[in-house]
Structure 1
Amino acid sequence: MATVDRWLLPDGIEEVLPPQAAQIEASRRQVLDMFQAWGYEFVVTPHIEFLESLLTGAGQKLDLRTFKVTDPQSGHLMGFRADITPQVARMDAHSLRREGPSRLCYAGSVVHARPRSLSRSRSPIQLGAELYGDASPAADIEVISLMLATLEQAQIADIHMDLGHVGVYRGLARAAELSADQEAQIFDALQRKAVDEVAALTEQLPQDLAAMLNKLSQLCGGREVLDQAKSVLAAAPSSVLDALDQLIVIADALMLRYPHLPFYFDLGELRGYHYHTGVVFAAFVPGVGQSIAQGGRYDDIGAVFGRARPATGFSTDLKTLVDLGQQPAVVLPAGVWAPTGADADLWQAICALR
């Protein structure tokens, strides 16, 4: 690299200058204080770990997004964290090993070998909260409410909520005894809303299950969609009906708490299908092509660490919140500059002012 180019940073890697750095730090402190007020304990995870730990279980999907290096001390491959969630799951399962619900939160830089999308940073500041040990819809309602409180504190305007439940498709796929390839193909077609493709992929399945799978991509819209789903999926296996009932309980509670917030339901939206086990949710704002905060239930996340138990949580990027938010600029206290001198009394006075 030529001397003149040494100031260049890699694509997607940013430095944060004043006053934005002060704004980000102030927002971080405010959000973590709020998390604590909700009963969530702050944890700090390692920036770098053995690759086997980072890419175990829920972290398997992070392989292509993880920077890898060789540890000169042990010779083992190591990786820089690309997602803090699996690390916190290990803490709950292996390090803390608590009985009953455990509420943990975090805020820290992550680095991505590949961005989540062309417009995304490769060095976000991931902020999130996890609730372990509670399988009830009340836990999901709490976590979604905390996510919305986080966005509200950042003064994000015009939020739209998107909710679904991966248990609906998963239950239908199991009832139809789909092979792994069939399940993946139908999943992909549903994400693209490719109605004709879904029909072609399900034509050899039992008629009732094929009809329900074909209807999934059409079950999207407002609260009325959940009532339609109760009718369309009336003959579905009990696991599907249970998933739908859970989503209805969560939806009704949230709509009661946030009567002016637009809610959108999509039973064909399977965000994080191979990672989540229940309700999935995301927050969107106009003009931004991706979710600004997202989460869901992932009850199996701790299994690979020897202790599977219920889990639900959310995450967001603190930089994005500051960029999109309408918080007033942080006003820092004025600094105290003083001449260098040998006067001890003057030095004590300067220290007192600082």
Structure 2
Amino acid sequence: MPNWLLPEFIADVLPSEARKMEDLRRKILDEFRSYGYELVIPPMLEYLESLLTGVGQDTEIYTFKLIDQLSGRTMGIRADMTTQVARIDAHLLNRNTVTRLCYAGSILHTRPSGLQATREPLQIGAEIFGYPGIEADAEIQSLALASLKAAGISGVCLDLSHVGVLKALIASDPLAQIFEAQLFDLLETKDMPGLIELTKGFHEDTRTALLALPSMYGDVEILKEAKKILPDTEGIAKALAELEYLAGQAECDRVTIDLADMHGYHYHSGVMFAAYVPGLPNAIARGGRYDHVAEAFGRSRPATGFSMDLRELARVLPAAEKRHVILAPWSDDEKLCRKIGELRQSGEIVVYELPNSRSEHDEFVCDRFLVQEADNGDWILKTAGNE
């Protein structure tokens, strides 16, 4: 095998794509800052116990593990940054007030998380800690959609779901509690034959509701049907009311409700959302409420947030326009150095033409050049093709 080959689903990012991703990172972080979010930078490596605290089984499967040569303890390479940010809020900042934090950095997965997905996403996201109300969920949803808009993403479909519906159904039936994991798997895949078989012996109301969940997908009107079919419990009523409120707050092309979407069920504690765009098979952003994650750090804090992969975002955007730059000959001439400094200070890109060489660029088009006037030695700009 050639020593330049990379592992499967790991890839270099070449200049034009890297610039596009970096521009997106800056735009989105600026959007976060405009909402009052403070930037944190967690480490790439942590002890495994800390990384996997309060997360679902999926995160553990995706986490690379290794032995720390200094302590002998097992460490993990982060597969998600949300738990790290929750740890920072709980132990390092230790505030008693509402805290808004954001982050951006590479994560690593042992396997692709979706069709055509990379194993090294560039994750960017935002979290609110310390507020249990639906208003925080509405702000996070608004920020996610505003960030996609700032990035130039259009045609967004927001899909809403809520773990409270399934949790309320399971809580009312002891037999359902025993088979919670199987119910989760069957609902996630919408396996009706398996669901029919598993729910034999459940309370009739619980069984009817569980069998109805896979068909409860559509626009916000599906919530009216859910209110008729699902048991009238406090937990279910609260979940449906929150979904209705958030659907009304969403500023995007389309909003759908999926009461059988259990993605992140073991991790989340309330509303969940996923944003989809034409041209991508995977969700371009995911988020939701996760109030119980910080409990394992010894300080329970309500929390809600979302994250996106900058690589996925860049895939759906057109190639960045090439920047027009100025070509300058290599020289120690004092006037030339001063002229180049002035041009760069004003925002121009100036590229030196090194002696006896040529440069090639993916990002730049050299359409102007600096020439020296014979009479006074000053350097002036000329357009390519003109005298």
TM over 0.5: yes
Which SS does the other structure have where 1:142 is aligned? helix
Q: Which residue in the other structure is 2:25 paired with?
A: 28
Instruction: Supply the distance in 1 between the matched residues of 2:13 and 2:279 (Cα, whole angstroms).
Output: 23
List, as ranges, runs of 4+ consecutive aligned residues in structure 1 with deviation greater than 6 Å: 343-346
Q: Which of 289, 292, 302 is the aligned partner of 2:281?
A: 289
Q: Which of 259, 263, 267 is the aligned partner of 1:267?
A: 259
**Residue 218 (structure 1) shift:** 1.7
* Aligned residue type for 2:13: V
Which SS does the other structure have where 1:211 is aligned? helix
* Aligned residue type for 1:305: F
Moved more, 263-272 or 193-202: 193-202
Moved more, 189-198 or 237-246: 189-198
**Residue 165 (structure 1) shift:** 0.5
Instruction: Supply the distance in 2 between the matched residues of 1:198 and 1:21 (Cα, whole angstroms).
Output: 46
Q: Which residue in the other structure is 1:218 paired with?
A: 215
Flag the 1:334–1:314 CA change in 2: closer, same or farther, 3 A: farther
Which SS does the other structure have where 1:36 is aligned? helix
**Larger relative helix fraction:** 1
Q: Which residue in the other structure is 2:40 paired with?
A: 43
Q: Which of 289, 297, 312 is the aligned partner of 1:305?
A: 297
**Residue 311 (structure 1) shift:** 0.8
Flag the 1:275–1:286 CA change in 2: closer, same or farther, 3 A: same
Instruction: Supply the distance in 1 between the matched residues of 2:328 and 2:62 (Cα, whole angstroms).
Output: 44
Q: Which of 155, 158, 162 is the aligned partner of 2:159?
A: 162
Moved more, 86-95 or 151-160: 151-160
Which SS does the other structure have where 1:263 is aligned? strand
Which SS does the other structure have where 1:46 is aligned? coil
Moved more, 313-322 or 175-184: 175-184
Instruction: Supply the distance in 2 between the matched residues of 1:134 and 1:273 (Cα, whole angstroms).
Output: 21
* Aligned residue type for 2:247: A
Q: Which of 196, 206, 209 is the aligned partner of 2:193?
A: 196
Matched, 1:230 2:222: no
* Aligned residue type for 1:85: T
Kept after mapping to 2: 8 A contact 1:172/1:236: no
Flag the 1:204–1:286 CA change in 2: closer, same or farther, 3 A: same
Q: Which residue in the other structure is 2:243 paired with?
A: 247
* Aligned residue type for 2:243: L
Kept after mapping to 2: 8 A contact 1:175/1:237: no
Instruction: Supply the distance in 1 between the matched residues of 2:308 and 2:254 (Cα, whole angstroms).
Output: 20
**Residue 196 (structure 1) shift:** 3.1
Percentage identity across paired residues of the two chains: 44
Structure 2, unmatched stretches of 5+, are 345-387
Matched, 1:80 2:80: no
Instruction: Supply the distance in 1 between the matched residues of 2:29 and 2:326 (Cα, whole angstroms).
Output: 25
Which SS does the other structure have where 2:235 is aligned? helix
Kept after mapping to 2: 8 A contact 1:23/1:329: no
Kept after mapping to 2: 8 A contact 1:209/1:236: no
* Aligned residue type for 1:313: G
Kept after mapping to 2: 8 A contact 1:157/1:325: no
Matched, 1:142 2:139: yes
**Residue 297 (structure 1) shift:** 0.7
Structure 2 length normalisation: TM-score? Answer: 0.83
Instruction: Supply the distance in 1 between the matched residues of 2:310 and 2:166 (Cα, whole angstroms).
Output: 32
1:168-199 deviation per Cα after TM superposition (whole angstroms, max 9, x unaligned): 01110011123655112222222222223222
**Residue 72 (structure 1) shift:** 1.5
Instruction: Supply the distance in 2 between the matched residues of 1:21 and 1:335 (Cα, whole angstroms).
Output: 23
* Aligned residue type for 1:300: H
1:154-177 deviation per Cα after TM superposition (whole angstroms, max 9, x unaligned): 222322111110100111001112
Kept after mapping to 2: 8 A contact 1:154/1:327: no
1:34-64 deviation per Cα after TM superposition (whole angstroms, max 9, x unaligned): 1100111111010111122112212653222
Matched, 1:125 2:117: no
Q: Which residue in the other structure is 1:318 paired with?
A: 310
* Aligned residue type for 2:281: G
Structure 1 length normalisation: TM-score? Answer: 0.90
1:217-240 deviation per Cα after TM superposition (whole angstroms, max 9, x unaligned): 12111111011111112x332112
Which SS does the other structure have where 1:57 is aligned? coil
Aligned-residue CA RMSD (Å): 2.1
* Aligned residue type for 1:251: A
Kept after mapping to 1: 8 A contact 2:56/2:266: no
**Residue 317 (structure 1) shift:** 0.4
Q: Which has the higher contact order (CA 8 A, sep 6+)?
A: 1
* Aligned residue type for 2:88: M
Computing the radius of gyration over CA atoms, which structure comes out larger, 1 or 2?
Answer: 2
1:56-101 deviation per Cα after TM superposition (whole angstroms, max 9, x unaligned): 2126532221222222122222121111111001011111111221
Instruction: Supply the distance in 1 between the matched residues of 2:322 and 2:245 (Cα, whole angstroms).
Output: 40
1:86-125 → structure 2 map (5 Å cutoff) = 86-125=83-122
Instruction: Supply the distance in 2 between the matched residues of 1:52 and 1:239 (Cα, whole angstroms).
Output: 32
1:190-218 deviation per Cα after TM superposition (whole angstroms, max 9, x unaligned): 22222232222222112122211221112
Matched, 1:277 2:269: yes
Instruction: Supply the distance in 1 between the matched residues of 2:322 and 2:38 (Cα, whole angstroms).
Output: 26
**Larger relative strand fraction:** 2
Instruction: Supply the distance in 2 between the matched residues of 1:94 and 1:333 (Cα, whole angstroms).
Output: 48
